[in-house]
Amino acid sequence: MTLLAVERIKLFTTRSPLWCTIAALGVTIGFAALIAGVDSDNLPTIASTQFGYGFGLVIIMVMATLAITTEYRFGTIRATFQAVPNRTSALLAKTAVVAMFAGIVGLIASFGSVAIAKLIRPSADLSISSGYEWRAVAGVGLVFAVAAVIAVAVGTMVRHSAGAVSLILVWSQLVESLVVLIPNVGDDIQKWLPFYVANKFLTGDPDPTTRAITDGPPPSDAVLSPWGAIAYFVGVAAVLLVIATVTANKRDA
Amino acid sequence: MIEAVGLSKRYGRTVAVDDLSFTVQAGRVTGFLGPNGAGKSTTMRMILGLDAPSAGNVRIDGKRYRELHNPLRTVGALLDAKWVHPNRSARAHLRWLAKSSKLPAKRVDEVLETVGLTDVANRRAGGFSLGMSQRLGIAAALLGDPQVLLFDEPVNGLDPEGILWIRRFMHRLADEGRTVFVSSHLLSEMALTAQELVVIGRGKLIAQCTTEEFVAQATENTVRVRSPQLALLRSALGQEGATVRDEGESLVVSDMDIAKIGDLAAAKGVALHELSTQRGSLEEAFIQLTGDSVEYHAAVDAEVPAQPVDLMPAGK
């Protein structure tokens, strides 16, 4: 508990997490507002309100990466390890706090997106009732939290802000979509890449009665079931976190 | 008490610290002296468990750093004053440190008061001058009211007032019975601050003794003599067993008391134009002792002028 409080103080006593949060919420909710407002032919659906979650996700992952790389950059990681020589607990506490925060931001972003769509187009049916709808909205919180764990783990391993952020961005925004360009095997590889799989949790198996394909983010055709997909995503994050913790324990701070 | 036994640290093929053994006693200020790159900071990081030794170990009151419970309450350290997030306020920086060791929030205000940063506590630490940063670092070190304190080059870049403040502060901490271990590459500074010395060069122990012993042993006293009858005096001194060396228009005599040289000159009827004690500077002595162990030599050896008296605390 003490360590969680320590990491909470650290996270909220610099301003960049606040800016990142505002940016993430603004982009995600703004995108939902844009879609609801511009498309006058169709009423927004739950699926269409969640179009912009990926933009917020990227920003929150940058925030999560910086939460650890700035500690290496400014040497506060040494002060941390001096105060808490058990590096594993120090890093797990940081990961937990950052992931929880990211999850909350994700929830505000997704429910905020639904709310703003309803506000702009009051006639739209935006009730959240089916399993798919719950996953598409509340699930965003979970995906944000797990993605933050991945970001912290990568940040711990790479230690340099620029390097870690580039790696995260290039991987999630370029590598995972461009991998299909590899002849023959590209498609099959993509089906197992973590962010592509996470998208399956949010967009997969839609209830056909409430969702037109064109209304939502392109559905993932990862082979796992939605819950299998999130389990896989959590698994990837856990493996990265274990590797990061082991490296941090081995390396000189 | 800090006790290092056979402490070594290798980075690839470079040996930063080589089989270093020393002890640091409580109630004294112990200086950790060595040229730049001698391995002082590495040793301090190993004491704090930040770097893992390649061999040997170091214990604080018999325990390894990682075994300490709430270590900030046992060991306080200022290794680098810049180890603060520049956008975090001084108070917030101390607040998370205090929280990590389950120290009450009012302790933060106490240490801010001790180092005189109360007025700027809510300003971002990135805007602090070097002197203020050092004070913040010292506040962090004092937070847990520890019995063991480590400072790495605490006076580097400080103005004279700041240096004096830190020097007095360390003496006060030692007088309270704490273990104070402070590193520096300046012997003159250590001569004023430290009572005990651990001297290293290229990662190896050169000496562990009191500062007085080190200074006495290191600085050889010589006498400079100028005279129109230099040749006569030289042979007379040689007969009496003194070691004489020519230095321009004068002689430099060692192994003989100044009064005796004067008496000898009078007995031989030699007129003297100068008879003065030359005290080797601490810097000279330091270079003499660590000369072989400096990591990076300048291509052109700078002339080190003998600076008498000023730097010499002993015997004043």
Percent of chain A with pLDDT strictly greater than 70: 94
Q: Are residues B45 and B92 in the same domain?
A: yes
Q: Are residues B239 and B197 in the same domain?
A: no
Q: Are residues B202 and B240 in the same domain?
A: no
Q: Does B10 touch chain A (CB under 8 A)?
A: no
Residue pLDDT, tens place only, B1-53: 999 999 999 988 889 999 999 999 999 999 999 888 889 999 999 999 999 99
Q: Does B82 touch chain A (CB under 8 A)?
A: yes
Chain A contact probe: residue of B11, B42, B83 with most A CBs at under 10 A: B83
The least confident of A13-22, A127-136, B75-84 is A127-136
From first CA to last CA, the distance across chain B in angstroms is 31
Q: Are residues B75 and B157 in the same domain?
A: yes
Which uninterrupted H or E stretch holds B276?
Answer: strand B274-279
ipTM, interface predicted TM-score of the complex: 0.87
Residue pLDDT, tens place only, B214-236: 877 766 677 888 988 888 888 88
Alpha carbons within 13 A on the beta-carbon side of B288: 13
Mark yes or no for CB contact A79/B102 under 8 Å: no
Q: Would you say residue B296 lies in a domain?
A: no
List chain A domain ranges: 2-250
Mark yes or no for CB contact B48/A76 under 8 Å: no
Q: Does A218 touch chain B (CB under 8 A)?
A: no
> What is the rounded average pLDDT for all residues in chain B?
86
| Rounded average pLDDT over B141-168 | 90
pLDDT at B296 over 60: no
The CATH number that applies at residue B260 is 3.30.70.980
Q: Which residue of B has its CA nearest to A253?
A: B50
Tell me the CA distances in angstroms from A87 to A94, A253, B13, B149, one per residue in order: 11, 10, 27, 22
Decide if A212 contacts A45 (C-beta within 8 A): yes
Q: Would the pTM of this model clear 0.90, i.e. be above it?
A: no
Q: Does B77 touch chain A (CB under 8 A)?
A: yes
Decide if B40 contacts B152 (C-beta within 8 A): yes
pLDDT for B299: 53
pLDDT for A133: 86
Residue that wins the pLDDT comparison between A21 and A129: A21
Residue B240: count other Cβ atoms within 10 Å of its Cβ.
14
Q: Would you say residue B297 lies in a domain?
A: no
Percent of chain A with pLDDT strictly greater than 90: 68
Q: Are residues B247 and B122 in the same domain?
A: no
Q: Would you say residue B286 lies in a domain?
A: no
Structure tokens at B193: 């601050």
Mark yes or no for CB contact B51/A15 under 8 Å: no
Q: Are residues B97 and B50 in the same domain?
A: yes
pLDDT at B308 over 60: no
Q: Does A4 touch chain B (CB under 8 A)?
A: no
**Which residue range(s) make up the domain with B20?**
2-217
The nearest CA of chain A is from the CA of B50 a distance in Å of 5
pLDDT for B219: 66
pLDDT for A127: 86
Residue pLDDT, tens place only, A78-118: 999 999 999 999 999 999 999 999 999 999 999 999 999 99
Q: Would you say residue B243 lies in a domain?
A: yes
Structure tokens at A209: 């009665």
Q: Are residues B166 and B225 in the same domain?
A: no
Q: Residue A193 — very low, low, confident or very high, per pLDDT cuts 50/70/90? A: very high
Q: Are residues B122 and B51 in the same domain?
A: yes
Q: Are residues B198 and B240 in the same domain?
A: no
Q: Residue A244 — very low, low, confident or very high, per pLDDT cuts 50/70/90? A: very high
| Rounded average pLDDT over B108-131 | 93
Q: Which residue of A has its CA nearest to B140?
A: A79
pLDDT at A217 over 70: no
Number of domains in chain B: 2
